[in-house]
Amino acid sequence: METNLHISNKTKGKLPRLPFAQLKSKILGGTYELSVAIVTPAESHRINLTYRQKDKPTNVLSFPLSKNSGELILDLKTSAADAKNFDMTKEQFFLFLVIHGMLHLKGFTHGSTMERAEKKFLKIFS
């Protein structure tokens, strides 16, 4: 089965076990080409500053490249630190961020519609 998914871990850390291919297929569709990069806080800081003019590391960034392709940038260390603010475990919050980022790639913006979709996919994949 072709998943059109590429995951790159640019840290020395171990990735949480997530069904990336199933998440991508369910949220973005089977033909969507997705690249996922796991980066250090320094790298997420640099990217966040370059593309969003925000001078801090961030837990997730979504970059739609075309209608059927995009990239997620995920920072596990920043994500782990942020998890407690959302009353979630590190693993739950990382799953949430992957879903959140994919929904942005699908065209969702922050608001009640996106929150309902996040809850739906969290329920399916938790």
CATH of the domain at 121: 3.40.390.30
Tell me how far apart the alpha carbons of residues 44 and 61 are, in angstroms, rounded to a whole number.
8
Proportion of the chain above pLDDT 70, given as a percent = 98
Q: What is the pLDDT of residues 51-110, one digit of tens each?
A: 999 999 999 999 999 999 999 999 999 999 999 999 999 999 999 999 999 999 999 999
Listing from the earlier edge strand, what are the strands of the sheet with 69-75?
5-9, 33-39, 69-75, 60-66
Report the number of distinct structural domains present in the chain.
1
Please state whether the predicted TM-score (pTM) of the whole model is above 0.85. Answer: yes
Tell me the pLDDT of the chain averaged across its residues: 94
pLDDT of residue 79: 95
| Domain that residue 24 falls in | 5-125
Q: Between vectors from CA 18 to CA 16 and to CA 19, what angle results, nearest 5°?
A: 160
CB-count exposure of residue 107 (10 Å: 0-12, 13-18, 19+):
exposed
Q: What is the DSSP letter of 14?
A: P
